Structure 1
Amino acid sequence: MSDRGAIHWPLLLPLLAAAALLQTTVPLARVATSYQAVDQGMSLASIGLLSSAFALLPVLFVVRIGRYSDRHGEAAVIVTGAALVLAAVLGLWLASGGFPLMLGFTLLLGIGQVMTISALQVATTRCSAPESHDRVLGNFLIATALGHATGPLLLTAVTPTGALSPGSALFPALAGAAVVLMLAAALTALRMPAHIAPPSDEKPPALRAILAQPGMAVTVLASGICLATNDLIMVFLPALAAARGIDAATVGLLLSLRAAASMASRLLFSQLVRRVGRVRLMTLAILAAGLTSLALAASLPVWALALVLATAGYTMGMAIACTISVTMLLAPVSSTATALSLRMTANRVGQFLIPLGAGATAASLGPGSPFIIMGTGLVACALAVRRIR
C-alpha cells in the first residue's frame, strides 16, 4: 500500500473500522447465543436451528438489497444494517430467555449483518482506482479477520477461569461494540462519494444473465459451501469442546488463533493471486480447508486442535477471499452489488440448510459428525471449482 495516492483513505479507514467491528460483534453474538442455549439445556438440534435462523431472512431480501445498492448507493444500506445489528444485540441481552425470543433476534441479527457486509464490500470499490481494488479488498478482508480475532479474545476476557460458559459481562461488552459499530457505519456513510445512478429507463441485467457469466455459478456455489463451513466451525466448536471437557476460555483462544490465521492469509492475498492465479489458489485453499475440517472430527489433544484450527483458518480465509474477488471480477460493471448479493444468497442458503443437517447429525452421532459433513462438502467443492476457466 505504498501508492497512497491511489487510495481514498478518508473513506477507507472508517469503512475498515466498521468491517472489523461488525465481524467482532456478530460472530461473538452468535457464540454467546450458543452458550445461552446450552445453559438453558437446549438440544444440539436447537442450536443448529438457531444457526439456520441467522440465514433465513437474508435469503428472502439479499438480492433486493443488492439491487437497491446498485441503483441508490450503499450509504443507507450500511447505516440501516448496523442499526439492525445493534437492535438484535440489545434484544438478545435484555430480552433473553426462551427459544422463541432467541430465534427472533437471531433472525434480525442475520439480516442486519448481511446488509452491512454486502454494502461495505461494494463500497471498497469506491476507495481506489480499479488497479488498486485487490489491495483495498485485501485490507478489507484483513479488517474482517481482525474482527473475528477480537471477538474470541473478548470472550476469553469475560469468562471466569475454568468456567465452561462465559460470564454475565459478555452481553454488555457486545452492546458496547455494537454502538461503536453504529458510529463507524454512520461516518462511512457520510464520507461516501455521491452515487451515480444508472438511467431510470435502463433495466438491470437479469439474475439468470449474471449467473450465466462463465464461472459465476460455480463460484457462487463454492462461496456458499465455504461460508457455511466457516460458520459451522464457530457454532459447533463450543459443543464439541464441552463434550471433551475443554473450558470456554480455551475455546475463545482457539477461535482467536483460527481468526488470526485467517487474517494472516489475507496479508498475502494479492501477492498469491498474482503468482498462483485466482482459480488455482481457490481450488487449493478449498481442498486444504476440507481436509482440516475432516481432521476436527478426530479426538485431538488441545495442541493438535489448535494446529488444525489455525490451518483451517488460513486456508478458509484464502478461499473466501478468492470467491469475493472472482465474483466482483466476473460481475457486470453496473451490477456488482447484485452479483455479490447472489453470492450472499448462496452463503445464506448454505448457512440455513447445512446446519439443519449438521444439528440433526450431531444429535444422533455426536458433536464431531458435523465436521465430517463440512470436510466432505469442501473436498467435493474443490473438485468443482478447478474446472473454472
Structure 2
Amino acid sequence: MAQASWVGIRLIIGYRALAEGADPAFLGLLASSFALPALLLALTAGRTADKFGGTAVAFTGLLTAAAGTLTMLTLRGLPVLLIASAVIGLGHLMVMVGQQAFVAHISKGGSSDSAFGTLTAAASIGQLIGPPAVTIIASLGVAQGAQPDTSLGLVVCLCFSTLATPAYFFLRRTDARLREGRRSVAGPIKVTHVLKSPGLWRSLVVSGAVLVTVDLMYAFVPVWATEQNVSAAAVGLLLALRAAVSVLSRLGLSRLIHRFGRKAILVISMAAAVASLAALPFVGPWGAIAVMVGLGLGLGIPQPLTMAWVVSLTATANHGAVLGLRMTVNRLAQIALPLAVGSFAAPLGVLGIFWANAALLVGAIAVVGGSDAGEAGFSESSGDPL
C-alpha cells in the first residue's frame, strides 16, 4: 500500500506541476526534491531503525508522507509542490528503510533472501496497482484528452497510505522483542567500522548499478517507443509486464538459491538484463515482450539479493545503518550515472543509451564474479561477521 501511494504520487505530481504552469526545468527540480532527503538522511534513518525499531520508523514515514500529500492537496503553487515533494520523499525514505530494517532483523538465522524477496515482491505489486488506480479514478468525469483531476488522484494516494498504517500496530510487539535481542547481543558500532566490512563496497556497487538500470529504463523507454512508433498505452502495458515478471521471480528465490547459490543467480539474472538491454533498440512492440520478460527477471531478482548480501556482511545491531548506507549509495548513483549515460551515449541515440546501460551491468557482473565475499557472504547459514 505504501509503494502504491508513492508511485501514484510520483505520477500525479507531474500533472499537478503542469497544471500550475511548470516548465521542463522545474519538473527536473521536482524529481530531485524527491531524492534529496534519501541522499542526506538515509544513514540517519537506518541508525534510528536500529535503535527504535523498523516499524516505528516506517510508521513515522507513513505519517510524514501523508502530511506532505495533504499539504499538496490543500495548498497551491509551485513552491508548495517543491516543499511537499521533499516532505513526501523523506516519508518514503523512512518507510523503505524501516521496512528493510525490520525484515533484516526478523530474518536473522533464516533466509534473508526469501524475506527480502517477499518484501520487494509486495513493492512490485504496489507499483502495479498504484498508477492505474490513481490515473483511472483521477480521470473519472474528465473530458477525453483533458488533464486528470489531480486532487482526486492525491486523495487516492492518501487512501493507500491510510490502508498501510494498521500494520504498525500488528508488528510493534515483534519489533520490540527484536530490539531487546539486539541490545543483548551487541551494541551499534561506528559507520566507519561498518564500511570496512570485507566485500561491502562490492555489494553497494552492484546494488547501485541495478537500481540505476531500473531508473534509466523508465526514463528512456519512451525514446525507444518514439523511434519504433509504439503507443504510450503499449509502453504502459510493457512496463506492467516487466513489473509482473519481477513479482513472480521473487516468490521462489529461496529454492533457486538453495540449488544454484546466490552468486550464480546474481550473475545469471544480470546477464539476462544485459542481453535484454542490448536487444531492445532492435525490436518492435512484439519483440519487446520478450525483452520485458528478460528485464523483469534480470532486474527483479538482484534487488532482494543485494539487500541480503549487504546485511550478511554486518552485525545485527547495524543492519538498519548499512541498509541506510545502501540507499545513500543508490541515490548517489541515481543522480550521477544517468547524467553520465545521457552525456556520453545520447549522441548515439537509443542504441547508445541502452548499450551504455548494458555495459554498466557488465561491470556489476564482473564485480560479483571477482568477489570472494560474494560466496562467503552468501552462505545459507551465514551469521554476523562483525
Name structure 1 gaps, 5 residues minimum. Answer: 1-20
| Among candidates 184, 188, 191, match of residue 167 of structure 2 | 184
Per-residue deviation, residues 178-225 of structure 1 (Å, max 9, x unmatched): 22223434544465333227669x763232322222221110111112
SS in 2 for 1:331: coil
Cα distance change, pair 224–24 in 1 and its aligned pair in 2 (3 A): same
**What does 1:56-67 correspond to in 2, within 5 Å?**
56-67=36-47
Per-residue deviation, residues 48-77 of structure 1 (Å, max 9, x unmatched): 544333222212111111122222222321
| Among candidates 150, 174, 195, match of residue 129 of structure 2 | 150
Contact 1:164 1:242 in 2 (8 A): no
Contact 2:134 2:157 in 1 (8 A): no
Per-residue deviation, residues 100-122 of structure 1 (Å, max 9, x unmatched): 44433332232222211111122
Contact 1:155 1:170 in 2 (8 A): yes
Paired with 2:314 and 2:83, the residues of 1 have a C-alpha distance of: 34
Q: CA deviation at 1:320?
A: 0.8
Paired with 1:360 and 1:235, the residues of 2 have a C-alpha distance of: 14
Could you tell me which residue of structure 2 aligns to residue 138 of structure 1?
Answer: 117
Cα distance change, pair 360–25 in 1 and its aligned pair in 2 (3 A): farther
Cα distance change, pair 244–172 in 1 and its aligned pair in 2 (3 A): farther
| Among candidates 315, 320, 330, match of residue 332 of structure 1 | 315
> What RMSD in Å do the two structures reach over aligned CA positions?
3.4
1:376 maps to 2:359 = yes
Cα distance change, pair 180–373 in 1 and its aligned pair in 2 (3 A): farther
Could you tell me which residue of structure 2 aligns to residue 277 of structure 1?
Answer: 261
Per-residue deviation, residues 112-148 of structure 1 (Å, max 9, x unmatched): 2221111112212454562354433332222122112
1:290 maps to 2:271 = no
Per-residue deviation, residues 272-294 of structure 1 (Å, max 9, x unmatched): 11122112221222232233234
Contact 1:145 1:259 in 2 (8 A): yes
Could you tell me which residue of structure 2 aligns to residue 322 of structure 1?
Answer: 305
Q: CA deviation at 1:47?
A: 4.5
Could you tell me which residue of structure 2 aligns to residue 115 of structure 1?
Answer: 94
Q: CA deviation at 1:337?
A: 1.1
**What does 1:41-52 correspond to in 2, within 5 Å?**
42-43=23-24, 47-52=27-32
| Among candidates 288, 292, 296, match of residue 305 of structure 1 | 288
Q: Indicate the larger mover: 326-335 or 126-135.
A: 126-135
Could you tell me which residue of structure 1 aligns to residue 326 of structure 2?
Answer: 343
Q: Which amino acid aligns with 2:51?
A: R
**What does 1:159-174 correspond to in 2, within 5 Å?**
168=150, 169-174=152-157
Q: CA deviation at 1:32?
A: 2.9
Q: Which amino acid aligns with 2:188?
A: P
TM-score scaled by length of structure 1: 0.80
% identical equivalent positions: 28
Q: CA deviation at 1:265?
A: 0.9
Could you tell me which residue of structure 2 aligns to residue 22 of structure 1?
Answer: 2
| Among candidates 65, 84, 87, match of residue 64 of structure 2 | 84
Contact 2:113 2:304 in 1 (8 A): no
Cα distance change, pair 372–30 in 1 and its aligned pair in 2 (3 A): farther
Cα distance change, pair 191–213 in 1 and its aligned pair in 2 (3 A): closer
Structure exhibiting the larger radius of gyration computed from Cα positions: 2
Cα distance change, pair 366–24 in 1 and its aligned pair in 2 (3 A): farther
Contact 1:67 1:338 in 2 (8 A): yes
Paired with 1:374 and 1:164, the residues of 2 have a C-alpha distance of: 35
**What does 1:233-248 correspond to in 2, within 5 Å?**
233-237=217-221, 241=225, 246-248=230-232
Q: CA deviation at 1:271?
A: 1.3
Q: Which amino acid aligns with 1:336?
A: H
Could you tell me which residue of structure 2 aligns to residue 261 of structure 1?
Answer: 245
TM-score scaled by length of structure 2: 0.80
Contact 1:65 1:115 in 2 (8 A): yes
Q: CA deviation at 1:81?
A: 0.9
Q: CA deviation at 1:315?
A: 1.2
Cα distance change, pair 332–198 in 1 and its aligned pair in 2 (3 A): closer
Paired with 2:283 and 2:148, the residues of 1 have a C-alpha distance of: 23
Contact 1:153 1:256 in 2 (8 A): no
Contact 1:63 1:345 in 2 (8 A): yes
